[in-house]
A and B are shown apart, each in its own frame.
Chain A
Amino acid sequence: MEQNNFKETVLRISGVNPKKCMRCGKCSGACPNYDEMEFHPHQFVSMVENGEIEKLMTSPSVYKCLTCFACVERCPRQVEPAKLIEAVRLCVIRQAGQNHLKPDQIPEMLDEDLPQQAIVSAFRKFTK
C-alpha cells in the first residue's frame, strides 16, 4: 500500500467525509476514554483530512478507542469519527501482511462454539 494512498483508503473504507466537520468538538466532549488517548476523536478527523494517517497508525490511540460510537451518535454533522478510527486500524492490519480472509479457508476455522457474530465481524475486518 502506497503512502499517499492511505488517506484515500481510509476514506473509502470508512465512507466518511471529514470535510463535513465544523470543528465543534462534541465528539471529544462525549468520548469516555479521552484521557487515555494521545490523539482525540476531533483530531482524528482533522488529521485524516490533512493526510496524516501514518502518525495515527503508529499511535496507541487507535487501540484505546473503545468503539463505543458515542462520537458517532452525538456528532451534529454525521461525520462519524469512530468509523475513521476503525478504518485506520484496518490500514494497520493490511500493512502487516496479506491477511485477507479467503472463503475456502473458512470451513476449517469454524467450530460449534464460535459465535455467528464473530464470523460476521471477521468478514468485515478482513475483506475490506
Chain B
Amino acid sequence: MQRIGVFVCWCGSNIAATVDVKKVAETLGKEPCVVYYENYQYMCSEEGQNKIINAIHEHKLSGIVICSCSPRMHEATFRRTAQKAGLNPYMVEIANIREQCSWIHKDMATATEKAIILGRAAIAKVHLNTPLQAGESPVVKRALVIGGGIAGIQTALDIADAGFEVDIVEKKPTIGGKMSQIDKTFPTLDCSACILTPKMVDVAQNEKIHIYSYSEVAAVKGFVGNFDVTIKRKARYVKEELCTGCGACTEKCPQKKVPNDFNLGLDNKHAIYIPFAQAVPKVATIDPDYCMMLKTGKCGVCSKVCAAGAIDYKQQDELVQQQYGAIVVATGYNPIDLKNYDEFAYSQSPDVVTSLEFERLTNAAGPTGGVLLRPSDRQHPHTIVFVQCVGSRESGEGCGKTYCSKICCMYTAKHAMLTREKYPDTEVYVFYIDVRTPGKNFDEFYRRAVEEYGVHYIKGMVGKVSPENGKLMVQASDLLDNKQLKIEADLVVLAAAIEPDPSARPLATMLTTQMDTNDFFTEAHPKLRPVESATAGIFLSGCCQGPKDIPETVSQASACAAKVIGLLAKDKLLGNPCVAESNELMCNGCSSCEKVCPYGAISYVDKEFKMPNRTIAVRRVANVNPAVCQGCGACTVACPSGAMDLKGFSNSQIMAEVDAICK
C-alpha cells in the first residue's frame, strides 16, 4: 500500500481565485491511502518545497501528488524536490489545476469540483506508480550544422571555438548564403562581402570545421547525443581535393548561356562555374543540365585545360554516414515567387525587380559591375519606385504571407538612400503601409533617408504597374494627401516577402521536429527557449525560425552555439526512463509495433520459452532498445495483444485515471 501526500498550490491568485484550494486539499485528503494533505501559496518556492520534503520524512510518504500548474512548467522541479527527500522522482504526479482548470473556468464551484476530479485521477495513478531509474547514454562530441549562410557559419565557428568538431552541410557549391549576395548592410552600410568573407575563410581554415558543400542531409536516425546522419554529396563532376580553384575551366567552357543563379538570372555563367570569387570551398562545379559533355558526350574542354586533372565526368552522388551529438538547423529563407502579383507587372517587364535582384544590380561583383542600370536597355534609371510589403501582411486567404517580413523596411531605406547618394539626379519614391524600424540606430537611419537624402516616402500602396513605351506607369494612392498618384518610372523595386527555404519541411520530418503553418521551425518556448526545438538535441539558428536581419541572426546563431556546447560538454546524458517495455509472454510476434516506431527502437528476437510437459518452444518476440525509445507510446496503441506497455504511463495507470474521473 502506498502512503500518499497531496499538496495543493494556490499559485498566488492564479489558482486560488477560481478554485477553493482548502476544500480541494481536504476532499482529496479523504481518498484511500492519502495520509497527508496541505495547501500553500507557492508550492514551487523554497518554503513550499521544504514543506514537501518535511512531509515526506515525517509521514514516510511513498508517493506524492502536486495539484498545481502544467507538468511542463514544474514537473522537473517537484521531481528534484522528491529526490532530495530520498523519494524516487517518478513517484511524483502533477494534477494540472491551473492551465486546464482555474485559467479556463470562471465559476468557483465548478472549477473546484473539476480540480478535485483531476487530483483524484492523479492519486489513482500514483497508486500504481513504480520507482523508475533513468538510463545513461554517451554523447558524440560532434555537431552538425545544416545550412552554410551567416547563421550556420557563426554557429559553426562558435562551436569549433569551444573545441568541438563541427560539420556544415550546404546544398549550394559554396557557403555564404544570402549575405554573400547582398551589397551593403544596414544601418552601418558596411560592405557585406567585406565582413562576411573573412568569416568564410575562418571556417575553411578552422581544423575543427569540415564543410560538405553541394550536399544535402538524406536521412537522420537516433536521438539526442547519438544522431546517425546520412549526407548525400551530390556529384559536382570535379574532384574537390584536386581542384585548385584557378578558374581556367570556367573561362574556357564553350557553354556560356547558363542562367547565373548567384546573380538571380540577371546574367549568364558557364556550364562549369565557381559561384563568386571568394567562394568557399573555391572549387568548380559542373551544371549537368547544361554541360555538353554530360549531355551529349562531345566537348571535354574543361578536362583538357585543367592542369590539376580534377575533372571527373563519371562522378556519382556519394552517401556519407556520420554520428553527431547535436544538430543545428540553419536553412534560411528565400524571397517569395511573385508570379501571382501581376498587378506589379513583375513577369511582364524586366525593369520590375525584387529587392534581392536590386542588390545584385548595385553590387560591384554583380552583372552591371556595380553601376545601377535598368535590365531592359542598360540605361541609368532616373525615377525609381520602391513598393513595400509585397506579399507580406496579407489576410492569408490569398497567395501572400500573414506575417511581417521584418527586414524590408530597413533594406528599402538602405536602397533608397544609397541610390540618392550615388545618383543624386534620381527621384526615389518609397510606398509604405507602415514604416517599421525597431532596432538599434534603425529609425535614425530611416529618418536620414528622408531628411538628408530626400527620398520621397509616401503613405499608400501601389495599385497597378503597367509597362508603356519603355516606361513603367505606376498608379498608387497617397493616403495622407488623399490623392491618386501616377508616376512614370524607369525601375520598380518590389520588397518581396520572405519565406523559409523549401528544404526545411522535408528536413523537419526527418528530424521529427515541429513547424508552424508558415513552415518556420517552432522554438521550444517563444521567450525562454528561443534557440532550441521541442525535439531534444535539435537547435535553431537564423531565419529558419522566423524572419530576422543580420545582427539578430548572428546573435541567435551564437546563442544556439552556446546551447550546443552545453550539450556536447556533457559526457553522458540521463535518458528518459518512461520507455516502452514488451511483455514477452503476451507478445504474439506480429511486428505491428516495429512498423509504427518512429525511432527504430524495436527489433524482434527469437527466444526459447518453457512450455507444458517440459517442452521448449521458440517464439519471435519484440525487444525494445531503451536507449533509443523516446516514450511516444505509438507501439502501445498499435499492439493488438496488449503486450506493449509504457513505463510511467502504463495501460493500467491510464485506465485507473479514467476510472477515477468517471467515478
**B392 to chain A: closest residue by CB:** A76
Chain B residues near A76: list those with CB within 8 A: 389, 393-395, 398, 400
Q: Cβ of A87 < 8 Å from any Cβ of B? A: no
In Å, the complex CA distance between A77 and B400 comes to 10
Chain A residues near B475: list those with CB within 8 A: 29-30
Are B476 and A29 touching (Cβ within 8 A)?
A: yes
Q: Cβ of B459 < 8 Å from any Cβ of A? A: yes
Q: Cβ of A20 < 8 Å from any Cβ of B? A: yes
Chain A residues near B398: list those with CB within 8 A: 76, 78
Chain B residues near A77: list those with CB within 8 A: 393-395
Are A74 and B477 touching (Cβ within 8 A)?
A: no
Q: A29-B462, A31-B463 given as contacts; is B433 within 8 A of A23 (CB)?
A: yes
**Interface positions of B from 406 to 464, Cβ below 8 Å from A:** 433, 459-464
Shortest distance between the CB of A25 and any CB in chain B (Å): 4
**A41 to chain B: closest residue by CB:** B477
Q: Cβ of A27 < 8 Å from any Cβ of B? A: yes
Q: Cβ of A35 < 8 Å from any Cβ of B? A: yes
Q: Cβ of B343 < 8 Å from any Cβ of A? A: yes
Shortest distance between the CB of A78 and any CB in chain B (Å): 4
Are A28 and B395 touching (Cβ within 8 A)?
A: no
Interface of A, secondary structure class, is: helix
Q: Cβ of A120 < 8 Å from any Cβ of B? A: no
In Å, the complex CA distance between A27 and B389 comes to 15
Are A29 and B395 touching (Cβ within 8 A)?
A: no
Q: Cβ of B479 < 8 Å from any Cβ of A? A: yes
Q: A42-B477, A77-B395, A78-B398 given as contacts; is B460 within 8 A of A28 (CB)?
A: yes
Are A34 and B397 touching (Cβ within 8 A)?
A: no
Q: Cβ of B517 < 8 Å from any Cβ of A? A: no
Q: Cβ of B205 < 8 Å from any Cβ of A? A: no
Shortest distance between the CB of A22 and any CB in chain B (Å): 6
Interface flags, A1-42, vs B, CB<8A=1, else 0: 000000000000000000010111111111100110000101
Shortest distance between the CB of A57 and any CB in chain B (Å): 20
Are A26 and B477 touching (Cβ within 8 A)?
A: yes
Chain B residues near A35: list those with CB within 8 A: 484
Most buried by A among B397, B461, B475, B479: B461
Q: Cβ of B482 < 8 Å from any Cβ of A? A: yes
Chain B residues near A29: list those with CB within 8 A: 460-464, 475-477, 484
In Å, the complex CA distance between A30 and B478 comes to 12
Most buried by B among A27, A28, A34, A70: A28
Shortest distance between the CB of A54 and any CB in chain B (Å): 20
Are A24 and B343 touching (Cβ within 8 A)?
A: no
Are B393 and A25 touching (Cβ within 8 A)?
A: no
Shortest distance between the CB of A8 and any CB in chain B (Å): 23
Q: A23-B433, A29-B463 given as contacts; is B397 within 8 A of A78 (CB)?
A: yes
Chain A interface: which size bin? 20 to 34
In Å, the complex CA distance between A24 and B433 comes to 5
Chain B residues near A78: list those with CB within 8 A: 395, 397-398
**B460 to chain A: closest residue by CB:** A25
In Å, the complex CA distance between A25 and B459 comes to 8
Interface flags, B467-482, vs A, CB<8A=1, else 0: 0000000011111001
Are A28 and B433 touching (Cβ within 8 A)?
A: no
Q: A29-B476, A74-B343 given as contacts; is B484 within 8 A of A24 (CB)?
A: no
In Å, the complex CA distance between A66 and B111 comes to 57
Are A28 and B400 touching (Cβ within 8 A)?
A: no
Q: A24-B433, A35-B484, A40-B482 given as contacts; is B394 within 8 A of A30 (CB)?
A: no
**A20 to chain B: closest residue by CB:** B395
Are A28 and B394 touching (Cβ within 8 A)?
A: no
Partner of A24, one of B397, B460, B478: B460
**Interface positions of B from 383 to 402, Cβ below 8 Å from A:** 389, 393-395, 397-398, 400
Chain B residues near A74: list those with CB within 8 A: 343, 463
In Å, the complex CA distance between A43 and B482 comes to 9
Are A42 and B484 touching (Cβ within 8 A)?
A: no
Chain A residues near B389: list those with CB within 8 A: 24, 76
Chain A residues near B464: list those with CB within 8 A: 29-30, 70
**A79 to chain B: closest residue by CB:** B395
Are A26 and B461 touching (Cβ within 8 A)?
A: yes
In Å, the complex CA distance between A76 and B343 comes to 12
Are A25 and B343 touching (Cβ within 8 A)?
A: no
**Interface positions of A from 53 to 102, Cβ below 8 Å from B:** 70, 74, 76-78
Shortest distance between the CB of B488 and any CB in chain A (Å): 16
Shortest distance between the CB of A50 and any CB in chain B (Å): 16
In Å, the complex CA distance between A42 and B476 comes to 12
In Å, the complex CA distance between A35 and B477 comes to 11
In Å, the complex CA distance between A1 and B607 comes to 85
Shortest distance between the CB of B478 and any CB in chain A (Å): 8
Chain A residues near B395: list those with CB within 8 A: 20, 76-78
Partner of B463, one of A20, A23, A26, A43: A26
Are B484 and A34 touching (Cβ within 8 A)?
A: yes
Chain B residues near A26: list those with CB within 8 A: 461-463, 477
Chain A residues near B460: list those with CB within 8 A: 24-25, 28-29
In Å, the complex CA distance between A78 and B395 comes to 6
Partner of A28, one of B343, B393, B397, B479: B479
In Å, the complex CA distance between A74 and B463 comes to 7
In Å, the complex CA distance between A30 and B398 comes to 17
Most buried by B among A26, A43, A74: A26
Are B461 and A25 touching (Cβ within 8 A)?
A: yes
Shortest distance between the CB of B186 and any CB in chain A (Å): 23
Are B463 and A24 touching (Cβ within 8 A)?
A: no
Q: A30-B463, A74-B343 given as contacts; is B477 within 8 A of A22 (CB)?
A: no
Chain B residues near A24: list those with CB within 8 A: 389, 433, 460-461
Shortest distance between the CB of A4 and any CB in chain B (Å): 27
Chain B residues near A42: list those with CB within 8 A: 477, 479
Are B393 and A22 touching (Cβ within 8 A)?
A: yes
Shortest distance between the CB of B372 and any CB in chain A (Å): 26
Chain A residues near B461: list those with CB within 8 A: 24-26, 29
Seed contacts A27-B477, A28-B479; 16 additional CB < 8 Å A-B pairs: A22-B433, A23-B433, A24-B389, A25-B460, A26-B462, A28-B460, A29-B461, A29-B464, A29-B475, A29-B484, A30-B463, A34-B477, A70-B463, A70-B464, A76-B393, A76-B394
Chain B residues packing against A (C-beta within 8 Å)? 343, 389, 393-395, 397-398, 400, 433, 459-464, 475-479, 482, 484
Q: Can you list 13 A-B contacts (CB < 8 A)?
A: A20-B395, A24-B433, A25-B477, A28-B463, A29-B460, A29-B476, A30-B343, A31-B484, A34-B484, A35-B484, A40-B482, A42-B479, A78-B397
Chain A residues packing against B (C-beta within 8 Å)? 20, 22-31, 34-35, 40, 42-43, 70, 74, 76-78
Nearest 10 CB-CB pairings of A with B? A29-B463, A30-B463, A26-B461, A28-B477, A25-B477, A34-B484, A29-B477, A25-B460, A24-B433, A76-B394
